[in-house]
Amino acid sequence: MKTLADLKKIREKAQEDMKLRGGKVRIKIVVGMGTSGIAMGAREVMKTFLEEISNRNLTDVLVTQTGEKGLSSMEPVVDLIEEGKAKVTYGNMNPEKVKKVVVEHIVNGRIVSDYVVATGD
């Protein structure tokens, strides 16, 4: 990239990608991977998500990472974002809880309210 026009192109493309449009991605999993998150086991959580998703051949799920939101005491924190629905934030996650969230929330569409710490943004 060299010019302003190129930057604009990248911006438009990125904005489209981030909107979950195109029907390819139904649900986006965002794992908080800041220092506190990692210290509390966010890497394991992320790994478990990836394993569970590949075991179940879920092709419409995207796993990505982000920084800290401010909930150091509830790390690891995971957001589940679905088009047209309120964002759900799960806290104090671990591999066991991840497995349950994958089955209940991602596959069956039922929010696991016991693990929820916040909704919306």
Partner 1 sequence: MKFFRSHVLVGINETSLQAGVQDFIKALRNELAKQNLQEEINVLETGPLGFFGRGVCLSVFPENVNYQDVKVEDVPELVEEHFLKGRPLSRLQLDSAGKFTPKFNYDKRIVLRNSGIIDPESIDEYIGAGGYEALEKALLQMKPADIIAEVKKSGLKGRGGAGFPTGVKWSFTAPLDAPQKYIVVNADEGEPGTFKDRLIMEGDPHQLLEGIMIAARAVGATKAWIYIRGEYKLCIERLQKAIAQCKEYGLLGKNILESGFDLDIDIRIGAGAYVCGEETALIESLEGNRGNPRWKPPFPGVKGLWQAPTVVNNVETLANVPFIIKNGADVYLSYGSEGCPGTKVYTILGDVAHPGLCEVDMGTTLRTIINEYAGGMKKGFRFKAALVGGAAGVFLPEKMLDVQMDFPHLNEYAAVLGSGAILVLNEHQSVVDMLWSILKFFRHESCGKCAPCRNGCQQLYRLITKIKKGNGTMEDVDLMVSIAQTMFSTSFCALGQSPIMAVRSAVDHFKDEFIEITKK
Which lies closer to partner 1 via its Cβ, residue 11 or residue 100? Answer: 11
* Selected binder of partner 1 within 18, 24, 56, 100 (CB under 8 A): 18
* Selected binder of partner 1 within 25, 43, 66, 103 (CB under 8 A): 66
In contact, 36 and 75? CB cutoff 8 Å: yes
> Distance between CA atoms of 119 and 121, rounded to whole angstroms?
6
In contact, 83 and 56? CB cutoff 8 Å: no
Cβ partners under 8 Å of residue 35, min gap 6: 68
* Selected binder of partner 1 within 3, 23, 57, 96 (CB under 8 A): 3
* Unique residue bearing structure tokens 């809880």: 97
Cβ partners under 8 Å of residue 34, min gap 6: 67, 68, 75
* Selected binder of partner 1 within 22, 23, 57, 121 (CB under 8 A): 121
Question: Least Å distance between CB 67 and partner 1?
Answer: 2
The site for partner 1 (CB under 8 A) is made up of 1-4, 6-7, 10-11, 13-15, 17-18, 30, 32, 34-35, 38, 64-74, 77, 79, 85-86, 89, 110-111, 113, 116-121
